[in-house]
Chains A and B, each alone.
Chain A
Amino acid sequence: MDDDKVFKALADRARRQLLDRLCARNGQTLGQLCEEMGMTRQSVTQHLALLEQANLVSTVRRGREKLHFINPVPLHEVYGRWVRKFEEGRLDLLHDLRTELERKQE
């Protein structure tokens, strides 16, 4: 279920762009994030809400401002589940090949 939210949140160019912008500069306000996005404040708010539900963005209140931070933790969980698993087979294969070749050299 959490994976679904992460993939859904990432399946949109504007939301990926918001993550890139937070990656470049963490802890921005809604107003800062709206600059150069070429969309209404309301749309940006909606995109940020989806990112927050997927736990890809966390927010902190500082006085009157709400600051947005990129939270890559769920990306690592998705990576562990969906990427690393498929790489392991390939790495095992390379490892076996190396062991085999080194044994022949002895």
Chain B
Amino acid sequence: MTDRSASFVYVTYIRTTPEKVFEAITRPELARRYWGHENLAEAWTPGSAWCHVRTDAARTVDLVGEVLESAPPRRLVLSWANESARADPEAYSRVTFDIEPQGETVKLTVTHEELQPGSGMFNGISKGWPLVLSSLKSFLETGRGMEL
């Protein structure tokens, strides 16, 4: 059986509201401003397919998966795989967004689990998430994301 034991837990504190964090992840016109990608789903409800699309002219689909849980604005759980590996059930990892208000800030925890240690996805997300989350924080606090 494939080793899918690796996981990461990323946390950022953002001066904003849980609603705005949830929207920034799920609304394409917002995500494109700090992520360089849009997250598209027919509906952000369990069972719906979602994909992660580059905002360039080619509109390359980089990631695909399914919405596993959705409780706006506090929690969203997605399965997550490279588009090129969409047919391989072992390639799917799991991403949970937990959004908790804490006083005047929001604690956003991104837990990425069931990753294959040392895989391309493992290496990619361990560089990617810290950048995306600091860009998201910058976007929600100042209106400007960071160049990714």
Residues of A within 8 A of B (CB): 2, 26-27, 55, 58, 60, 69, 71-77, 80
Q: Is the CB of A76 within 8 A of B11?
A: no
Q: Which A residues lie within 8 Å of B134 (CB)?
A: 73, 76-77, 80
Q: Is the CB of B130 within 8 A of A73?
A: yes
Nearest CB of chain A from residue B12's CB, rounded to whole Å: 5
Q: Is the CB of B11 within 8 A of A71?
A: yes
Q: Is the CB of B6 within 8 A of A55?
A: no
By Cβ-Cβ distance, the 8 closest A-B pairs, closest first, are A69-B9, A76-B134, A72-B130, A58-B11, A58-B9, A73-B12, A76-B130, A73-B133
State whether the Cβ of B138 lies closer than 8 Å to any Cβ in chain A: yes
CA distance A58 to B137 in the complex (A): 17
Q: Which residue of A lies closest to B129 (CB)?
A: A73
Q: Is the CB of A69 within 8 A of B138?
A: no
Nearest CB of chain B from residue A7's CB, rounded to whole Å: 16
Q: Is the CB of B6 within 8 A of A26?
A: yes
CA distance A2 to B105 in the complex (A): 13
Show 24 A/B contacts (Cβ-Cβ < 8 Å), sorted by A.
A26-B8, A27-B9, A55-B13, A58-B9, A58-B10, A60-B111, A69-B7, A69-B8, A69-B9, A69-B10, A71-B11, A71-B130, A72-B10, A73-B10, A73-B129, A73-B130, A73-B134, A73-B137, A75-B130, A76-B130, A76-B133, A77-B134, A80-B138, A80-B146
List 10 additional A-B contacts (Cβ < 8 Å) besides A55-B12, A73-B10, A76-B133.
Answer: A2-B13, A26-B7, A69-B9, A71-B10, A71-B11, A72-B10, A73-B12, A73-B129, A73-B133, A77-B134
